[in-house]
Amino acid sequence: MQDYKTVESSQTTLTELMIPSYSNFGGKIHGGIILSLMDKVAYVCAAKHSDGYCITASIDVVDFLAPVEVGELVSLMASVNYVGKTSMIIGIKVISENVRTHVVKHTNTSYFTMVAIGEDHKPKQVPGLILKSQDDIRRFSQAKNRRELKATYKRDEASIKDEFNTAECLISLRDERCQIFQ
Ligand SMILES: CC(C)(COP(=O)(O)OP(=O)(O)OC[C@H]1O[C@@H](n2cnc3c(N)ncnc32)[C@H](O)[C@@H]1OP(=O)(O)O)[C@@H](O)C(=O)NCCC(=O)NCCS
């Protein structure tokens, strides 16, 4: 295994035609189809960087920015933004193109944390990342910050759960659109 690898060496683009069977009741492409393609391209990119089997540990926010129509070409561009010891954060940008008008929409951007798994089924170390451009450095640094923020958020979440107080909660829900029966 190489100690360090470039971002380009694992960059992956997946393009897929949106066929009618991918649509939902509203005639637009089902969000789950896009999610599945995102998971696939994240896997390929992570597997190329780590030279092996990977699993999805976490997905950092998927906002659907614009609907995707049947007949459009969806392209998913993935690259390794950050590597930890055994994990890789894969940044994915999704665009959708109308083949007749060539109008291109940006439909999603998301960050998948993939973990490399060794023969022993345990997380295994991945190669470091060679950062060659300003964009490589910016993405690495922003992903590192996001990872640290997430760790803080998880700790806060755990303490919120520990400190849960039903009486205070009921007061905070007074102006919400819910009915409480107990
Ligand atoms: C992901 C998984 C392997 C982590 O196992 P673990 O015993 O917690 O291993 P570790 O604590 O050593 O974590 C391994 C790495 O994953 C990262 N990680 C684990 N859970 C994470 C999460 N929820 N979000 C982001 N990163 C996570 C850790 O930070 C660590 O990164 P690093 O080595 O780069 O510092 C384990 O939770 C798992 O198998 N989950 C199920 C995955 C799955 O079924 N996915 C869907 C199908 S592919």
Domains of the chain (ranges, CATH numbers): 4-172 (3.10.129.10)
Atom of ligand 1 nearest to the CA of 87: 34
Q: What is the pLDDT of residue 110?
A: 97
Phi, psi of 125 (to 5 degrees): -65, 140
Q: Whose CA is nearest to atom 48 of ligand 1?
A: 55
User: Which residues are near ligand 1 (CB < 6 Å)?
Assistant: 55-58, 84-87, 113, 115, 123
Cα 80 to ligand 1 centre (Å): 16
111 to 50, 80, 131, 166: CA distances (angstroms): 17, 10, 18, 35
Q: What is the pLDDT of residue 115?
A: 98
Ligand 1: which of 87, 114, 152 to mutate, most ligand atoms within 8 Å of CB? Answer: 87
Q: What is the pLDDT of residue 156?
A: 83
- Per-position pLDDT tens, the chain of length 182: 789 999 999 999 999 999 999 999 999 999 999 999 999 999 999 999 999 999 999 999 999 999 999 999 999 999 999 999 999 999 999 999 999 999 999 999 999 999 999 999 999 999 999 999 999 999 999 999 999 999 998 888 887 777 788 899 999 999 999 999 98
User: 126 and 87 in contact (C-beta within 8 Å)?
Assistant: yes
Torsion angle, alpha carbons of 159, 162, 163, 165, to 10: 140
Ligand 1: which of 86, 115, 117, 129 to mutate, most ligand atoms within 8 Å of CB? Answer: 115
105 to 26, 61, 108, 125, 161: CA distances (angstroms): 19, 19, 9, 37, 40
Cα 122 to ligand 1 centre (Å): 10
Q: What is the pLDDT of residue 164?
A: 82
Q: What is the pLDDT of residue 8?
A: 97
Q: What is the pLDDT of residue 2?
A: 87
